[in-house]
Structure 1
Amino acid sequence: MYFYRTSKIMNLRKRCLVLHEKRFIYNFIIVGKLVKVYERCSIYNTIEIVEASCVFVLD
């Protein structure tokens, strides 16, 4: 999987960081495929997306 930054997902990340500062799951729809990407908030690797939503891990 290739990782790079997009402004859309960076904006989403900022909103996610406001709501939960530890960790979260991004659900990406890429070319019709749903891919879950687990990331730490301090890492700025992102992927090309068609749509994205943030699902929080509350542990």
Structure 2
Amino acid sequence: METERWTAFRPHFGIEVFYCRPGIQGAHEKGGVDGQIGYFRRNHFVPVPSLNLTE
């Protein structure tokens, strides 16, 4: 169930809502979402290592 604040928030920022299927029918969807979050985190939030070769 969506709250009134959430339904007012979504159109303001242009958020499309997609809910996973409950139960065993939607059990496979969690891994895909977690994988996408991990990919984004590794590629955008982890700093690129730098090598100091002048020493």
Task: Determine which structure has the larger strand proportion and give its number.
Answer: 1
**Structure-2-length-normalised TM-score:** 0.28
Q: Relative contact order (alpha carbons < 8 A, sep ≥ 6): 1 or 2 greater?
A: 1
Task: Determine which structure has the larger helix proportion and give its number.
Answer: 2
**Structure-1-length-normalised TM-score:** 0.26
Structure possessing the higher radius of gyration over alpha carbons: 2
